[in-house]
Amino acid sequence: MDNRPIGIFDSGLGGLTAVKEILSILPQEDIVYFGDTGRVPYGTRSRETILKYAKQDMAFLQSKNVKMIIAACGTVSSVAGHMGDTLPVPFTGVLKPTALAACLATQNKRIGVIGTTATVKSGAYQKAILEIDADIQVFAQDCPLFVPLVENGFTSPDSDIVLSVLRHYLQPFAKAEIDTLILGCTHYPILYRAIEKVMGKGVFLVDSGRETAVYAADILEKNGLLSGRAQKGRCTFYVSDSTEGFAEAANIFLQQNVQQTVELIDIEAFSQTHYVN
């Protein structure tokens, strides 16, 4: 048993989808979450910048003595996932568990992937899926406006603005006749109902936050790292920009008051640390 916290990071609010699922699956675990709200989004950045940000984010979490690190960010998982191999604690991104879940779900072997521009350009999901099943056809589409929608509170499936943006990006999948769609950014499950409305009930949506939480729980159990406490765990949140804006959004999404557990940090202070090689 190990009562140290689980470390989770994302470029902003998206990683809360993973937090929500872990709280459901492993309610006794402590969680330290870092949302890089001052530098969101990651998906439009260069590879070099994404690597720099990921290194700083991982270093910060290690300074909090976490027992596992989860990159709840599709962009980091696709572009900088290899950095997890250098960590002294177990690591997972969203890529592997999400790709596996999609391959198990598809019936017609036609899978769609939506993600940030950096994620789609990396080809990481396509590669991961084809390594699992070479017969699957993968259709990918970057959706650069999805993260700004979520970060600014536009998530309702009844919103004309939301539906207009979603239809713009999701239209090509109708011709592709996919039966499974990977939500390849942890912001996207927050748009789940709106995406489902546009795609229709015949397309199965793979929630990267949910699949990553299930996968992480399995890793913790296999490594004997589950918490031994009986009581409910505690969540502590850190951000690189406004604590008020983050707390308001997190309160709504997690359905709990996080106002007193959100702290502003200087993530740039972790650029020259010994935590990550």
Which pair of structure tokens corresponds to residue 32? 């330290």
State yes or no: is 73 an active-site residue: yes
Strand extents, DSSP E, the chain: 6-10, 31-35, 68-71, 91-92, 110-115, 137-142, 180-183, 204-207, 235-239, 262-264
Q: What distance lies between CA 205 and its chain's CA centroid? A: 15
CA separation for the pair 155, 152 (Å, rounded): 9
Residues 6+ apart with CB under 8 A from 274: none
Q: Which of 73, 103, 143, 235 is catalytic?
A: 73
| Burial (Cβ within 10 Å: 0-12, 13-18, ≥19) of residue 110 | middle
Q: Which of 103, 143, 185, 235 is catalytic?
A: 185
State yes or no: is 103 an active-site residue: no
Catalytic residue numbers read: 73, 185
